[in-house]
Copies of this chain bind each other. A is one copy, B any other.
């Protein structure tokens, strides 16, 4: 009991963390499993216990997820958000600037959809012109053989 008391209020249980972050417990464990989150500290030699900064990390994940970033892509951000001195890691700096640019483009895409909608709503219907996006098709397989045949 004395130990238990000492441990008490030292951090958040996984359940509480799930409630506070809006993730499921399973998801939190899953993120740990795939190394998106660092292995959590344990209490009484098993139960995970989280600090406020852990929660912040998780909130950053949900935040980045909203922008459509893949779990893999967000790793550098998470590493960064701990304590890194950005100027120390020029590669990361570049990556982040690149991603910033992508997000700017995403915003532009979304804005075009909004415009598209507005036009449709005003017109009542739409002719052949749809949105002008689709400029940078960079699809193409991500696995194996790569069938790609870029023309230019």
Are A96 and B125 in contact (CB-based, < 8 A)?
Answer: no
Contact A62 B124 (CB under 8 A): no
Question: Hey, what's the 0/1 contact readout for A83-94 against B, CB within 8 Å counting as 1?
Answer: 111110000010
Q: Pick out which of these stretches binds chain B: A1-9, A38-46, A129-137.
A: A129-137
Identical subunits present: 2
A74-88 interface bits toward B, Cβ cutoff 8 Å, 1 = contact, 0 = none: 000000110111110
On whether the beta carbons of A96 and B67 are closer than 8 Å, the reply is no
Complex Cα distance, B85 from A125, in Å, reads 5
Give the residues from 96 to 152 in chain A that come closer than 8 angstroms, CB to CB, to chain B. 96-97, 99-100, 103-104, 106-107, 109-114, 116-118, 120-121, 123-126, 128-131, 133-134, 137-141, 147, 149, 151
A62 touches B117 (CB 8 A): no
Choose among B85, B113, B125, B139 the residue that contacts A103 (Cβ–Cβ < 8 A).
B113
A124 touches B63 (CB 8 A): no
A104 partner, pick from B19, B63, B114, beta carbons under 8 A: B114
- For the complex with contacts A24-B147, A80-B125, 4 further pairs of A-B residues with Cβ separation under 8 Å are A22-B134, A67-B113, A81-B120, A103-B110
